[in-house]
Amino acid sequence: MTETSPPPGFTPETRFAVPGRIAVSAQAAALWQTATLTEVRRETPRAATYRFAVPDWAGHLPGQHLMLRLTAEDGYSTQRHYSIASAPDDPGHIELTLDHVEGGEVSGWFHTVAKPGDEVEVRGPLSGFFAWPGDRPALLVGAGSGVVPLMSMVRHHRARDLSVPLRMLVSARGPEDLIYARELGAETAPVFTRSAPEGVPVGRMAAAHVAPLLAEQPPGGWEAYVCGSNAFAEHASRLLVEAGQPVDRIRIERFG
């Protein structure tokens, strides 16, 4: 038995969650650009926001990331992927929020050496699958610095005064570890895992946090964006599936 040629545009029988949301510019992704640090803002004891001027930045969508490169005097260089924290409507500028990772080669430099005027290199924006153009109702679920790309979506939603529903569930160890705490509004429900203000329960994100959000499904349903450590992403995505969120409407960005 010989089967005939497969049809063009092969698609497996199983639906996949994440067709890309946008076309990605191969040109922007290939080009290293100088990014000049203009401002450092402390967010929590462990995290700070770094604002850069990148005059020829091609623009990005909320949820996208970039590659950042540091180079030593002997020519040694190292690079990391980071999510973009700022909303798109900030021409020529981008912001990153970085945790100080213990022994972190790049985050260590940022947290102990970097000051305004310093130059690093970036290329991007990269990848279209975690991008949110502001079209579909968005259910954002993050933990720790996993809130960073989600905050870009929240900021975009506010800046454009979008009417499409958006909710965010964000987990932090305690109020002092909640990144962007001052900026969070009625769209956000924080979950505290170690310590919480008087009267607020302490505990891991659970079905009880997710169920009310899935009970108020907007027309067309939520597009869920999950971001955090692998352990958190596994846990949160399982909660979403158990609460009835379709597997093919869950996009996951894991750190690593």
Partner 1 sequence: MNVTRGFTGRARVHNPGLPPGQYDAGDNWPVLSAEVTPDLTPDDWTFRVDGLVEAPRTWDWAQAHALPESAYEGDIHCVTSWSKFGVRFRGVSLDAFLDEVRPQESATHAVAYSHTGYTTNLPLADLTGGRAWIAWEYDGEPLPSEHGGPARLLVPHLYFWKSAKWIAGIRLLDHDEPGFWEQNGYHARGNPWQEQRYSGD
Residue 117 in tokens: 């005027």
Which one of the spans 14-22, 47-55, 153-161, 197-205 is the region binding partner 1 (CB under 8 A)?
14-22
Which one of the spans 26-34, 52-60, 162-170, 172-180 is the region binding partner 1 (CB under 8 A)?
26-34
Minimum CB distance to partner 1, residue 30 (Å): 3
The CA-CA-CA angle for residues 232, 233, 237, to 5°, reads 120
In this structure, how many other beta carbons lie within 10 angstroms of the beta carbon of residue 230?
Answer: 11
Is 42 within 8 Å of 58 (Cβ atoms)?
Answer: no
Site for partner 1 in 55-84 (CB under 8 A): 67, 70-81
Collect all residues with Cβ–Cβ distance below 8 Å to 149 and sequence separation of at least 6. 62, 63, 64, 65, 83, 84, 85, 130, 225, 227, 253
Indicate whether 26 belongs to the interface with partner 1 (CB under 8 A): yes
Pick from 45, 91, 113, 215: which binds partner 1 (CB under 8 A)?
A: 113
Site for partner 1 in 199-228 (CB under 8 A): none
Indicate whether 9 belongs to the interface with partner 1 (CB under 8 A): yes
Number of residues that bind partner 1 (CB under 8 A): 65
Indicate whether 18 belongs to the interface with partner 1 (CB under 8 A): yes
Is 221 within 8 Å of 17 (Cβ atoms)?
Answer: no
Indicate whether 195 belongs to the interface with partner 1 (CB under 8 A): no
Q: What are phi and psi of 94, to 5 degrees?
A: -140, 155
Collect all residues with Cβ–Cβ distance below 8 Å to 71 and sequence separation of at least 6. 77, 121
Residue 36 in tokens: 């000049």
Minimum CB distance to partner 1, residue 53 (Å): 15
Say what the alpha-carbon torsion angle 186, 202, 63, 107 is, to the nearest 10 degrees.
Answer: 130
Which one of the spans 19-27, 42-50, 134-142, 214-222 is the region binding partner 1 (CB under 8 A)?
19-27
Whose structure tokens read 């639906």?
15
Is 145 within 8 Å of 164 (Cβ atoms)?
Answer: no
Site for partner 1 in 93-112 (CB under 8 A): 105, 109
Minimum CB distance to partner 1, residue 162 (Å): 24
Minimum CB distance to partner 1, residue 255 (Å): 7
* Residues near partner 1 (CB under 8 A): 1-3, 5-6, 8-10, 12, 14-20, 24-27, 29-31, 34, 67, 70-81, 105, 109, 113-114, 118-121, 126-130, 230, 234, 237-238, 240-241, 247-248, 250-256
